[in-house]
Amino acid sequence: MTALPDRVDKKLGLVIDLDTCVGCHACVVACKGWNDQGYGAPLSDQDPCGAAPSGTFLNRVHSYEITPPDAPAQIVHFPKSCLHCDNAPCVTVCPTGASYKRREDGIVLVNESACIGCGLCAWACPYGAREMDADAGVMKKCTLCVDRIYNETLPEEDRQPACVRTCPAGARHFGDLSDPASDVSQLVAARGGLDLMPEMGTKPVNAYLPPRPKTDAAPEFDVLAPFLEPVAEDAGGFLGWLDRTLSKMPG
């Protein structure tokens, strides 16, 4: 079995704002597109235009309707990918050492040339974050776009995971969660960021910001109110006559 490092120098990971995510799946498309460009084997699809399409994705978005106490029902969009856990069970069950956690940044990766496709890591992961690629015969998972974040040939603003760079709502954030002064750590502290399923003891690095409760109160548009008032109570002239005439016609 594979051993975890006794320490890591950084804990690179994601902070995902469930209050901001709109479920557009742009992160899913960006992830699939980037990881088809050369890191490892491409993410295959089976019968994509047929009656029962399937494929391999490193990031998925699930949507749920929830009803908080004393609040109206709301839809929560929940992005899911590898959480790069400190105590990653997918690593410790791997019989070949293909799954491993990097000491320098805490990212959990798969050495595809050593993976035998046994699926033990998928069984061990409580988050369902690993998928078997049917064509490649090896396990796939989020890499935090390790081939982007250290790529000095890219503009500095692009040296972040494709999902983060693409998110139109700004719901995804990337950084070092071992540094209390980092933007992501401060965001977690300010918003009460949560670990996913802490009872499993995996100590995930990624954190989720909880959705804010919605209310039934109608928003106030004081600034827009003058512009929303009708220009005239009754239209006059030819257009007024035409409107009155058409309104009397049977529907």
pTM of the model: 0.82
Sequence-distant (6+) residues with CB within 8 A of 124 are 89, 90, 92, 93
Per domain, the residue ranges of the chain are 12-209
Pairing mode of beta strands 60-66, 54-55 = unpaired
Residue 232 pLDDT? 57
State in words which class domain 12-209 has. Answer: alpha beta
Give me 115's structure tokens: 């993976």
**Cα(70)–Cα(245) distance, integer angstroms:** 49
Give the pLDDT score at 2.
81
Quick one: pLDDT at residue 248? 78
- pLDDT beneath 50: ranges in the chain: none
pLDDT at res. 24: 97
